[in-house]
Homo-oligomer: A and B are copies of this chain.
Amino acid sequence: MEFTLPENTTLIADTARRYLKNNYSFDAYRQQLEQADHLQSPRWSLMQELGWFGLPFAESSGGYGGDLLDVAMIVRELGAALCLDPYVDVVVAPGKLLEFIGSDAASTMLTQLINGQARLACALYDFQAGYQVLTPSLNFNGVRLSGQKHFVPDGGHADILLVTALNGSELVLCAVPLKLCETQRYRALDGSRMVNVLFEDVVITDEMIIARGEVVEEALGRLLAYLRALDCARMYGAASALYQRTLEYAKIRKQFGVTIGSFQVIQHYLVDMFIDLQQLESMLLMVAIKAESTDDFQRQRASLAAKAYYADKAVRIAQQAIQIHGGIGVTEELDVGHYFRLITHGSLTHGDRAHLVKGFAELRN
């Protein structure tokens, strides 16, 4: 076994860190919080120039053949920098879905995405179906769709939504121009933008249909594992930043004439955070490899376990970071509270803890 990152992965991670250091900051984040359209920023084209748009995809699809591990290291840095640029939601998620589908229509669309010509987002959830992506509430009525999709991450930035809907008992994936739908936009807990989408008698033409049936179900299974791994990567970046900041703070903040880091209870809190962070790192490395395994059981097991673990321990680290910071930790001016929200958010996407543990328990081997 070997846990050292491959050289090119280290290079990718270092580049991402340097790029974010030069082009992003807590101030930039706070400005971005107030903006509705992130894709206007020069960073968006910079990301494309850095090759991030093509990185996650096979060379045969026109990508650079990066592994999940490579993408995860970028996403970890995005999390560590609190960066709101919707790389995962507008590039990785829809792109991987298309790649997993692998049909001609999907490949054409993927090429457009990699070139920056198409802006896509995935509309997989609705509140009735909850985390059960295989049984969406949206149903075909003949060739029309009427109903809703919810919680579409950064969906407002897309021109086209990849939408799941049931036709009878068959799951269908279609590409629907956003302008055919009504949308409700809102700011999500991590500061990103979300939309709920209303379909009123939207006619789905044959060209809009990307795939049907089992191939969609399988692709969704692979996509979820992939995205859960990226959720972990993002939370790891944030948790690791929180740990560093809290450790530094404990070394300089004085109370009762001494640094708070000299109190045994605070020391043990920090040690617990350190140990948990070690374990979170192990789980991240594990899931970044296994969540793209071709073995269905391995993939599911890894992604359910890692995210369930994060929903417990990363959340705990975020809570302790605030507790040790005291009053300053709950203010908008400090990044600590923002990381806290990012982690809360990350713990609820693609399955909450109870849902994931239950899924894991049902995966009997």
Contact = CB atoms under 8 A, between A and B. Distances in A.
Give this chain's copy count.
2
A274 B263 CA distance: 21
Interface string A257-297: 00000011100100000000000000000000000000000
Contacts of A264: 263-265
A268 B266 CA distance: 11
> A interface, how many residues as a size bin?
under 10
A181 B30 CA distance: 78
Contacts of A263: 264
Contacts of A268: 265
Interface string A231-263: 000000000000000000000000000000001
A22 B265 CA distance: 43
Interface string A31-70: 0000000000000000000000000000000000000000
A263 B265 CA distance: 9
A35 B49 CA distance: 83
Nearest to A264: B264
Nearest to A267: B265
Nearest to A265: B264
Interface in A295-323: none
A309 to B, nearest CB: 22
Nearest to A268: B265
A264 B261 CA distance: 13
Contacts of A265: 264-265, 268
A268 B263 CA distance: 12
Interface of A: 263-265, 268
Which 4 pairs, one residue from A and one from B, show the smallest C-beta to C-beta distance?
A: A264-B264, A264-B265, A265-B268, A265-B265
5 contacts: A263-B264, A264-B264, A264-B265, A265-B265, A265-B268
